[in-house]
Amino acid sequence: MFMLRMFLHLCHTNIAPKKLKLNRAQGKLKISMDGLRKKETNLREVQDKFALLQQTQESKKQEKADLENQQKYEDAEPESQLPG
């Protein structure tokens, strides 16, 4: 009986501080993971906005090129073909 009590005492004195450290570490990990999830959400939002801006930029580049080509075509037409 003494040996059992001694064993339980040793287990309690060795394990309890480790469990306490583990619980603290798990709490810190949860806080860190929550922060990480928020940052990941923010990153996805920024990436989505950036992708939209890139699409808009490409669209505007194409529109500009089309207008430049249209202007070149109009400038190249002989005056005799212009109405008036």
**For 36-73, what is each residue's pLDDT tens digit?**
999 999 999 999 999 999 999 999 999 999 999 999 88
In a domain, 41, yes or no: yes
- Asked, for residue 39, whether it belongs to a domain, the answer is yes
Domain that holds residue 21: 8-66
Torsion of CA 56, 62, 67, 72, to 10 degrees: 160
Q: Is residue 25 part of a domain?
A: yes
Dist. CA 84–CA 72, nearest whole Å: 20
What's this model's pTM, rounded to 2 decimal places?
0.60
When divided into structural domains, the chain yields a total of: 1
Q: What is the largest CA-CA distance in the chain?
A: 118
